[in-house]
A and B are shown apart, each in its own frame.
Chain A
Amino acid sequence: MELFLHQVIAGLATGAIYACMALAIVMIYQAIDTLNFAQGEMAMFSTFVGWQMMQWGLPYWGAFLATIAVSFVAGVAIERVVFNPLRDAPVLSHLVVFIALFAILNSAAGFIWDFTIKPFPTPFGTHPLFGNGLISAHDAGMIAVSLIMLALLYVFFRYTRIGLAMRAAASNPDSARLVGIRVGWMIALGWGMAASLGAVAGMLIAPVVFLEPNMMLSILLYGFAGAVLGGLSSPAGAVLGGFVVGVIENLAGTFIPYVGRELKLPIALALIVAVLSISPRGLFGTRLVTRV
Chain B
Amino acid sequence: MQKEATPTPELQAVAPAVDLDSVAHDAVLPIAWRRVAIAVALTVALALPFVLKSFLVFQLTMAMVYAMAILGLNLLTGFNGQFSLGHSAFFAVGAYTAAIMIENFGIDYYWTLPAAGLICFAFGFLFGFPALRLEGVYLALATFALAIAMPPLLKATPLEPWTGGVQGILVTKPDAPFDLPLTSDQWLYFLSLGVGLLLAVAAANLVNSRSGRAMMAIRDNPIAARAMGIDISFYKTITFGVSAFYTGVAGALSAVVVNFVAPDSFTFVLAVGLFVGLVVGGVGSITGALFGGLFVLFVPNFAEQISKGLAGAVYGIILLLLIYAMPSGAAGLVRLIAHKLAARRR
A90 touches B13 (CB 8 A): yes
C-alpha spacing A270/B127, complex, angstroms: 12
Given A35-B140, A272-B141, A291-B5, also A91-B156 (CB < 8 A): no
| A68 CB to nearest B CB, Å | 25
Given A92-B279, A95-B279, A99-B319, verify A276-B14 contact (CB < 8 Å): no
Closest residue of chain B to A269, judged by CB? B145
Any chain B CB within 8 A of the CB of A232?
yes
User: Restricting to A79-98, which residues have a CB under 8 Å from any CB of B?
Assistant: 82, 85-86, 88-93, 95-97
CA distance A106 to B5 in the complex (A): 39
Give min CB distance, A192 to chain B, whole Å: 20
B79: shortest Cβ distance to chain A, in Å? 13
| Minimal beta-carbon separation of A61 from chain B (angstroms) | 32
Question: Contact: B6 with A290, CB < 8 Å?
Answer: yes
Most A C-beta atoms less than 10 A away, residue of B14, B155, B223, B313: B313
Q: How far is the CB of A202 from chain B (nearest CB, A)?
A: 19
Given contacts A95-B279, A269-B148, contact A90 B327 (CB under 8 A): yes
Whether B319 lies near A90 (C-beta < 8 A) is no
Asked if residues B327 and A100 are in contact (CB atoms below 8 Å), the reply is: no
- Taking a contact as CB atoms under 8 Å apart, the answer to whether B276 and A96 are in contact is yes
Pairwise interchain contact A96-B280, C-beta atoms closer than 8 A: yes
Which of A35, A92, A272, A273: most chain B Cβ within 10 A? A92
In the complex, which residues of chain B have a beta carbon less than 8 angstroms from the beta carbon of A104?
312-313, 316-317, 320
**What residues on A are CB-neighbors of B133 within 8 Å?**
276-277, 280
B181 part of interface (Cβ distance < 8 Å): no
With an 8 Å Cβ cutoff, the count of chain A residues facing the other chain is 53
The reply to whether the CB of A55 lies closer than 8 angstroms to some CB of chain B is no
Cβ–Cβ contact A228 & B327, under 8 A: no
Contact A232 B137 (CB under 8 A): yes
Cβ contact within 8 Å between B141 and A101: no
B156 and A224 within 8 A (CB): no
CA distance A224 to B137 in the complex (A): 10
A263–B157 CB distance below 8 A = no
Contact A258–B312 (Cβ < 8 Å): no
**In contact, B223 and A292 (Cβ under 8 angstroms):** yes
Given A92-B14, A96-B280, the answer on whether A266 and B323 have CB atoms closer than 8 Å is no
A-contact 0/1 string along B150-166, CB 8 Å cutoff = 00110111100000000
CA distance A276 to B223 in the complex (A): 22
A contact patch SS: helix
Hey, what's the 0/1 contact readout for A160-182 against B, CB within 8 Å counting as 1? Answer: 00000000000010110000000
B321 to chain A, nearest CB (A): 9
* B116 close to chain A: CB less than 8 A: no
Return chain A residues, CB-CB under 8 Å to B115.
none
Q: Are A273 and B310 in contact (CB under 8 A)?
A: no
Measured between alpha carbons, how far is A291 from B221 in the docked complex, in Å?
Answer: 12
Pair A288/B310 contact, Cβ less than 8 Å: no
Which residue of chain B has its CB nearest to the CB of A292? B223
Residues on A with beta carbons closer than 8 Å to the beta carbon of B195: none
Q: Complex Cα distance A41/B28, Å?
A: 44
B152 and A111 within 8 A (CB): no
Residues A96 and B17 in contact, CB atoms below 8 Å apart: no
Cβ-defined contact, A107 with B141, below 8 A: no
Pairwise interchain contact A100-B138, C-beta atoms closer than 8 A = no
Q: Which residues of B have CB within 8 Å of A107? A: 309-316
Is A103 close to B, CB under 8 A?
Answer: yes
In-complex Cβ contact of A174 among B3, B16, B275, B312 (8 A): B3
Query: B192 at interface (Cβ–Cβ under 8 A)?
Result: no
Contact B157 A269 (CB under 8 A): no
Q: Give min CB distance, A136 to chain B, whole Å.
A: 29
List chain A residues, Cβ under 8 A from B276. 96, 99
A60 within 8 A of B: no
User: How long is the Cα–Cα vector from A291 to B6 in the complex, in angstroms?
Assistant: 8
Does B272 belong to the interface (CB within 8 Å)? yes
Can you spell out 14 A-B residue pairs with CB atoms less than 8 angstroms apart?
A: A33-B10, A35-B140, A86-B323, A86-B324, A92-B278, A96-B276, A103-B313, A104-B312, A107-B316, A228-B138, A258-B156, A266-B153, A269-B145, A280-B134
A101-B316, A221-B144 known; 20 new pairs, CB 8 Å cut-off, are A90-B13, A90-B16, A92-B13, A92-B278, A92-B283, A93-B279, A99-B276, A172-B3, A232-B137, A263-B152, A265-B148, A265-B149, A265-B152, A266-B148, A266-B149, A273-B130, A276-B134, A281-B138, A288-B7, A290-B4
